[in-house]
Structure 1
Amino acid sequence: MIVAGIGSKRGVSTEDVLAAVDAALARADLGRGALGAIATPAVKGGEPGIAAAAAALRLPLVLVPQTQLEAAAERAQTRSERVIALLRVPSAAETAALAAAGREARLLGPRLALGPVTCALATGGEA
């Protein structure tokens, strides 16, 4: 199963989230059917654009608690000083995807940034 981890600025639109997911999938040569879940840090749970994107894709939205983000931090591939200041992890998208995909999860590549959204794909575990 592949999990798409999402990081974003506040007020992100559904269209922005879907565009980032599609771009990350295209980079990995995958289609939407490969996805099993959308994951985001729990603090982003109130973002309607992220929730609406998960609903549009007919996927569960996994809200990853801070402790799980931090546990996945050492496996992240990219580093954002802004995200470190806000969430104390190097990448919201990467750590959310890794945490939701399971302990043995691995990233399919570094996060992709597209406008106000970042998306990372992880595989290798359960959501």
Structure 2
Amino acid sequence: MRVAGLGFRRDVTLASLREALVAAGGRKGIAAVATVSDKAESDALKHLARELGVPIKSVPAELLVGFATSTQSELVKEKFGTGSVAEAAALAAAGRRARLISTRAVSRDRTATAAIAEGDGE
């Protein structure tokens, strides 16, 4: 199962989410999008999921703590206990034995990040 993990600011646009996803490798093969639970109801995220025809996987913030990520944001580390929400959410939602196939990519306006992980979906 291939999952796109997304991290973003509350005022993110659909265009920024799309751009980050394309920069991370694109939509091909994506079975779900994932983000931290408190942002899973974002309108822009819902629109993206509808465009892709995939569900949104909501990952509780406490499950992101301690995920080893390839990229590091000090701000994200302080707030969530992991270096990248996008990478950690993708790994958490992709299931056991998940691995990153694309590290965090950032939209040009810096309001969205995306990473892609692949796992067994369980």
TM over 0.5: same fold? yes
In structure 2, C-alpha distance between the alignment counterparts of 1:62 and 1:16, rounded to whole Å: 19
Unpaired stretches in structure 1, ≥5 consecutive residues: 27-31
Match of 1:80 in 2: 73
How far is 1:88 from its partner? 2.1
Aligned length: 120
**Identical-residue share of aligned pairs (%):** 37
In structure 1, C-alpha distance between the alignment counterparts of 2:94 and 2:28, rounded to whole Å: 16
Q: CA RMSD in A?
A: 1.5
Which of residues 33, 38, 43 in structure 1 aligns to 2:33? 38
Encode CA deviations 1:28-78: one digit per residue, 9 max, x unaligned: xxxx2310000001121232111211111111000101232125x12x111
What is the identity, as a one-letter code, of the residue corresponding to 1:45?
A: A
If the length of structure 1 is used for normalisation, what is the TM-score?
A: 0.86
Q: Which runs of 4+ in 1 moved over 6 A?
A: none
Q: Does 1:56 align with 2:62?
A: no
In structure 2, C-alpha distance between the alignment counterparts of 1:109 and 1:20, rounded to whole Å: 11
SS in 2 for 1:111: strand
SS in 2 for 1:89: coil
If the length of structure 2 is used for normalisation, what is the TM-score?
A: 0.89
Conserved 8 A contact 2:20-2:105: yes
Match of 1:11 in 2: 11
What is the identity, as a one-letter code, of the residue corresponding to 1:12?
A: V
How far is 1:9 from its partner? 1.3
Higher fraction of helix: 1
What is the identity, as a one-letter code, of the residue corresponding to 1:51?
A: K
Match of 2:97 in 1: 104
In structure 2, C-alpha distance between the alignment counterparts of 1:46 and 1:34, rounded to whole Å: 23
SS in 1 for 2:113: strand
Conserved 8 A contact 1:7-1:93: yes
